[in-house]
Amino acid sequence: MQFRTLGDSGLRISVIGLGTWAIGGGDWKFGWGDQDDSEAIAAIVRAVELGINWIDTAAIYGEGRSEILVAKAMEQIPVASRPLIATKCGRVALGDGEIGKCLRRDSVIRECEASLKRLNTDCIDLYQMHWPEPDEEIEEGWQTLVDLKAQGKVRHIGVSNHSVSQLQRLQAIHPVTSLQPPYSMIAREVEAEILPYCGQQNIGVICYSPMGKGLLTGTFTAARAAA
């Protein structure tokens, strides 16, 4: 396995990580269908055995289910071999199947505390704002992440799906350790501005959906894609 340093964090992370969107199951708005919890846990354990040293999740994945499964997988991995855990805030389950968007301070703090509990940890390795929405709240949300870092509840802070102009607004408050953009052979928009900017600013880039949500795996038939 190859490793690279993530932005200004000093963290050496494997060039391949494991995302956990799908293991949240199908009982929420953006679910990928039913999942077997034991298979999900086994997949995480096996990924670590093969050299992956970071797991990416989010509070909204399965409305907390993914984080819980990640924590259960950690119980099966020796402490010295446990991977770094990255999770996200800013998408909030409203209780009626709908998903809200909120980066207000009180909401972000509640999300962080809930994630710490579900992940069974006292500090999150990388805490990220999931989306820059609402746009007018990104500075408040980012300052809250800065404060959570100062309190020792998170080690490093980053964002996902932000534009260059939004990154610049956040950088004026505190350096951004990492950005998660979608990037694959069929989604290359970030090459124009975002990747060059991140390179100049030493912002680590963690690409998500590198296989185009499965379209690049070679397993999709026309019928499956249509479904």
Domain ranges of the chain: 18-226
Rounded Cα–Cα distance for residues 96 and 105 (Å): 23
Pair 124, 155: CB distance under 8 Å:
yes
Nearest CA to 179 out of 196, 200, 198 is that of 198
Residue 94, number of CB atoms within 10 A of its CB: 11
DSSP state of 80: G
pLDDT for res 27: 79
Three-state SS at 71: helix
pLDDT above 90 coverage of the chain, percent:
81
Q: Angle at the Cα of 208 (from 191 to 36), degrees rounded to 5?
A: 165
pLDDT for res 23: 86
pLDDT exceeds cutoff 80 at 64: yes
Q: In this predicted model, what pLDDT tens digit does every residue of 152-194 receive, in sequence order? A: 999 999 999 999 999 999 999 999 999 999 998 877 999 999 9
Predicted confidence band of residue 136 (pLDDT cuts 50, 70, 90): very high
Q: Dihedrals φ, ψ of 8, to 5°?
A: -95, 10
- Which residue in 61, 127, 183, 197 is the catalytic one? 61
Q: In this predicted model, what pLDDT tens digit does every residue of 202-225 receive, in sequence order? A: 999 999 887 766 676 677 777 766
Please indicate whether residue 61 is annotated as part of the active site: yes
Average pLDDT taken over every residue of the chain: 93
Predicted confidence band of residue 25 (pLDDT cuts 50, 70, 90): confident
Q: Which fold has domain 18-226?
A: TIM Barrel (3.20.20)
pLDDT for res 223: 74
